Amino acid sequence: MTYRLYYTDAYTLTFDARVRSLDATGTRVVLDRTAFYPTSGGQPFDTGTLNGARVVDVIDDDEHGDIVHVLADAWPGTIGDAVTGTVDEARRRDHREQHTAQHLLSAIAADRFGWETVSVHFGADRSLIEFAVADITPEQCASLEQHADMVARAPRAVTVGFEDAASALGLRKPPTREGEIRIVTIDGVDRSACGGTHVRSTAELLPIVLRGTERLRGRVRIGFLAGQRAMARAALDAQLLAAISQQLTCAPAEVPDAIVRLTVRNGELENERRRLRTQLASVEARALWETAHIGSDGTRTVRVAQHALPLEEVKPLVAALVTLGGVRVCATSESPLGVLLAVSSDIPLDCGRALRDALVAVGGRGGGNAAQAQGTVPTVDALVDVVARLGFAT
């Protein structure tokens, strides 16, 4: 069993120990004692070094009570080696702050609103608490945030003790283990059975900032940030907002209105673009139709090969062409690879069938009706082949 230094002291990050066991690969090291926290209870593992060797994962071997340090490279020594371990300070501090803020928020949410904490998640972007409640209003969120701030500001001591599960009183949740349990107490606010790393004083949690809610499985998850991570995120948000307001040439407070105006303007321009495209298509269609090759049966053949444009963009032109009558049209695109076949209503050709037959021969897919059909092909060569099979010049 590994002696867990972090159980009684979450601030000592350098420690001396001895190697107690190594696995066959030499990358999984068990020590007699450690300050490294293993992934457990929603809190991620610590990183750091053992005699300079990088620790990339820490696993709780519950069965043997051991903590397994996973190294990036095999341990160069042997069992019994003296080890100096160093836990990465910034990551540990961040975990202490987010985890203890979660205790505080869960306790206040239970006291003030009766929301039971179902699960917690400490993520790279933000931490989440899932509450067994169907809905949380923005006002309730603001109230929770204000109370957490007020309570943390007092400030209150956070202490660790060990008690028997059967006689421990006033716990926020009933203990899931029997025998001796570790209890984390926020003075006057919360008593929870927990194995994680926590701060000494709630002053270290400030600021505590809620970052939105999301509904999931009939419950609500609240996102939050605490301590130095909240400060760093606030600085980043300010930078982002400054960059956005500079781009929009307006004050930060005017950004939402400026975006609404831009969206409306963009919609107007898109409508105008479509109207002009249709108008242009009818002019282009007339020119193409008048100069088209006329076959022995009197049918005109028009090949539209604007390969940089998706087929959607040339459809107005094709539509304008077929209204002129006596015409077969084949349009192709290379981005994405596609082919479109259309005929005017006075031409006795079933486009759907003709295109399907040509596509099957080259491994393409598609279909349509008698007047117009569309398909995709796997390669440029297949596109050339399909066009030839449809009787058009490539």
Taking the least distance from each CB to Zn ion, the nearer of 2 and 102 is: 102
Q: For residues 115 and 109, what is the distance between their CA atoms, to the nearest angstrom?
A: 5
User: Cα–Cα distance between 282 and 280 in angstroms, integer?
Assistant: 5
Question: In this complex, which beta carbon is closest to Zn ion, that of residue 10 or of residue 30?
Answer: 10
Alpha-carbon distance values, 67 to 19, 34, 93, 113 (Å): 12, 8, 20, 38
In the bound state, the residue with its beta carbon closest to Zn ion is 194
The DSSP 8-state label assigned to residue 155 in this structure reads -
Q: How far is the CB of 194 from Zn ion (least distance, A)?
A: 3
- By CB under 5 A, how many residues form the interface with Zn ion? 2
- 182 or 219: CB nearest Zn ion: 182
Binding pattern to Zn ion, positions 275-304, x when CB under 5 A? Answer: ------------------------------
Cα 203 vs. chain centroid, distance in angstroms? Answer: 31
Alpha helices in 62-126 (DSSP H): 89-108
**CB of 102 vs Zn ion, minimal distance in Å:** 7
Our CB check for Zn ion shows the closer of 144 and 158 to be 158
Nearer to Zn ion, 196 or 227 (CB): 196
x/- letters, 164..203, toward Zn ion (CB under 5 A): ------------------------------x-x-------
Question: What SS3 class is residue 33?
Answer: strand
Of 48 and 196, which CB lies nearer to Zn ion in the complex structure? 196
CB of 145 to Zn ion, least distance (A): 20
CB of 103 to Zn ion, least distance (A): 5
Residue 204 C-beta: closest distance to Zn ion, Å: 14
Point out which residues pair with 391 in neighbouring strands.
none
Closer residue to Zn ion (CB): 196 or 375:
196
Q: Which tokens hold the place of 354?
A: 């003709």
Q: How far is the CB of 206 from Zn ion (least distance, A)?
A: 18
Q: What is the DSSP string of 244-312?
A: HHHHTTS-GGGHHHHHHHHHHHHHHHHHHHHHHHHHHHHHHHHHHHHHSEE-TTS-EEEEE--TTS-HH
CB 198 to Zn ion: min, Å:
6
Q: How many CB atoms are located within 10 Å of the residue 13 CB?
A: 19
Q: Which residues bind Zn ion (CB under 5 A)?
A: 194, 196
